[in-house]
Amino acid sequence: MTPAISVTRGDHTTYLKWHRARRFGTDPVFTGRRIVEGMAAGASVEVDLVIHGDNGFAVLHDLSLDQDTTGHGLVRETPAAVLRDLHLRGADGAPLPDKVMLLEDLAALIRQQGAHPDAVLQ
């Protein structure tokens, strides 16, 4: 297994963080593909959680669906089944094949794909 992604200077090691689950600044946010890639590489992968209409959590940053997804309205008013049918949007606003994940979807994906022992999901 490859070592976790880090930078070492002297006696201090800093593990790299994938902010909003992006490896590159141009990556779309919170795609399952990038989250799994980061976890496999041993990165610290940061995700945001927003309460949805069924009182669970959606893996999204904004309280509104309008910017990052193909949906409209507030996440807190949207049922889980509707969220799972929405697509994420790229930086250019175009819909992506990647769908919005709920926290349980993300947990199942990581459980299925595995993760580096040094990986951190936060």
Residues 6 and 13: their CA atoms lie apart, in Å, by: 6
Tell me: pLDDT of 76 over 70: yes
pLDDT of residue 5: 64
- What's the predicted TM-score (pTM) here? 0.82
Largest CA distance in the chain: 50
Percent of the chain predicted with pLDDT > 70: 85
Q: Are 18 and 60 in contact (CB under 8 A)?
A: no
**Between 28 and 36, residue with greater pLDDT:** 36
Domain interval for residue 84:
6-121
Count structural domains, the chain: 1
Looking at residue 36, which CATH number applies to its domain? Answer: 3.20.20.190
**Does 1 map to a domain?**
no
**Does 62 map to a domain?**
yes
**Does 84 map to a domain?**
yes
Residues 103 and 32: their CA atoms lie apart, in Å, by: 11
